[in-house]
A and B are shown apart, each in its own frame.
Chain A
Amino acid sequence: MNKMTDMNDHNSHATAANSLRQQPDARGHFGQFGGRYVAETLMPLILDLEREYRAAQADPEFQREFDYLLKHYVGRPSPLWLAQRLTDDLGGAKIYLKREDLNHTGAHKINNCIGQILLAKRMGKQRIIAETGAGQHGVATATVAALFGLPCTIFMGAVDVARQQPNVFRMKLLGAEVVAVESGAKTLKDAMNEAMRYWVANVHDTFYIIGTAAGPHPYPELVRDFQSIIGTEAREQILEAEGRLPDMLIAPVGGGSNAIGLFHPFLDDTDVEIVGVEAAGEGLDKRHAASLTGGRPGILHGNKTYLLQDEDGQITDAHSISAGLDYPGIGPEHSWLHEIGRVRYEPVTDDEALASFQRLTKLEGIIPALESAHAIAAAERIAPTMSKDQIIIVNLSGRGDKDIFTIADALGVKL
């Protein structure tokens, strides 16, 4: 199986009329979204990165190395698990789980990190930086930095450092320096600001491994391409298991890299309904992180996209029980898919995610990440309204070991 199918497809589809898989345009725009809203200091580097990515896409050796690492280091393909007990319990559509939680480091994040560190190597960069929210991307980045022997600095909001201690320790064990960011709300957004500040001062030798399908072009595109292995595999696996495509895909969306990875290979399959799940936090009338449902278009962190903001364009603080969804923006391709109506985005609250977390754990023996529990909650809402011969694929984007302290706290259990 050619794991780089999607990167190749992207080129071959470029001439196909009416395809939803041809974005972004030459300037990095997905409709009105995306773009390259960065300081002039970074602009030449961003252009270099784009050139290098085009060269890598055309280089069979790059693709061979990517495929090799995904298979032998990450452990791909990840299984597509028929969650029979969950299906029976809900009494509706058949639910399959795409088991990204079984990847090395425990989430989908590693797929993208492998791709980007290979680009860093091609560009001769000497140092790796990254931002992280839950710590999953930080761990994945620290992991590939260790594998390639490059020094690595991870920027993480001080609030997230406190609530994700096990991941902080993992990163340090892997040899990374973890910088606790004290500015702003001290979460993912602020970690990204600080990573960009470091980057702008060290552009000559530093590669910034952005963890989600957002940021300045070409990041949203290349992160999507590296993550599209999820959807490419799922497509083959469901055809093998069921002899047909699913009726629906469901994935959680913070920045949205696992979601776009699952969705993208299916975008032109108009019979496949696609649902992205946003974090509604304490509820849409209270503190939340649902950028599409509760925000509007604006410019932040290098791209134009839906943002939580006030009438003056000041960014407002996001909230989600899941650190990985605690971000006031979303990847630009999701904003575009939302506007053209190809993907439906639904909110799920902290409480709903907590309930689904426990339900999946007990029914399937799978502890999902809190991020993934949001997608499970949406599946629980939707599956009973569908018939038993219909099929849903849910992206189980990561495992929940990192969240047990948060869960214990929410359930009033002292560990």
Chain B
Amino acid sequence: MSRFDAAFGKGHPALVTFITAGDGDTPAILDAVMAGGADVIELGMPFTDPMADGPAIQAANLRSLCKGTTTADVFQIARDFRARYPETPVVLMGYANPMTIRGADWFAAQCKDAGVDGVICVDIPAEEDPELGPALRDAGVDFIRLATPTTDAKRLPAVLDGAGGFLYYVSVAGITGSQQAAQSSVQEAVNRLKAATKLPVAVGFGIRTPEQAAAIAKVADGVVVGSALIDIVAEYGNDAPRHVEILTKKLADAIHGAKEIAA
């Protein structure tokens, strides 16, 4: 059983937390989200040109890079996390150039060595899978695909071909941290996706509060929260972990209990 199977098989929806590696005291922030009840960790690889990200995560990328964070640092953060938390899946999320610059095989081997379970690459759609997909799958690392409101039924099989771990449903056509999608439209989309795949479906983009998270958790297998946590790192600096833990706990309680309340 993979770590993803375990994380999404706890009998309640999963909380997926995103933070940018190297922004603030990342190991302490990771400890905080774990203490707060996160089920899956997404670690953002900083990039100079985060085209799919809104102002909050753009700023986090910049803060991290300005501190001198390297790709080696990102893998070290992942490796150290794996040593502390053997059971929790870790996903690297980022852009194609930093992932492929030393070759896809190099990147996949590093992921495997660091105990990374899956990779999300914003700008490698199914059409460009050969750039990274085969290397990851050969190394036993899941290539997590994104589906969006513009992914129609005709396209969906191509998106799912070679996908692993879970399916990430981007609930709004837009950038991270943007407006939240209506629960009804998300429900419809998740049902459509679940009819086409056995992979768990996690929903992200624009989910900031425990109330919003609970609403999405009623209709999905997982909820991704990123910008709201990043905002805390930006606001509190060294004092961020304590505040991150508080928000994570509220989000986790709301998400983990969402389907019980519904039932």
Contact = CB atoms under 8 A, between A and B. Distances in A.
Contact of A300 (B97, B170, B174): B97
Given A40-B147, A183-B58, A313-B101, A27 B127 contact: yes
Contact of B125 (A40, A193, A204): A40
B174 A201 contact: yes
Nearest to A48: B150
Contact of B49 (A40, A44, A184): A184
Nearest to B174: A201
Interface string A39-74: 111111100000000000000000000000000000
A197 B147 contact: no
A301 interface: yes
Interface residues of B, number: 44
Q: How large is the interface on A (under 10, 10 to 19, 20 to 34, 35 or more residues)?
A: 35 or more
A196 B51 contact: yes
B127 A309 contact: no
A238 interface: no
Interface string B128-159: 10010000000000000111111110010001
Contacts of B178: 201
Given A184-B49, A200-B174, A200-B175, A39 B97 contact: no
A299 B97 contact: yes
A175 interface: no
A314 interface: yes
Interface string B11-46: 000000000000000000000000000000000000
B98 interface: yes
Contacts of A307: 97
Contacts of B149: 41
Most buried by A among B48, B50, B155: B48
A298 B150 CA distance: 27
B181 interface: no
B124 interface: yes
B70 interface: yes
B146 A39 contact: yes
B58 A41 contact: no
A186 B28 CA distance: 33
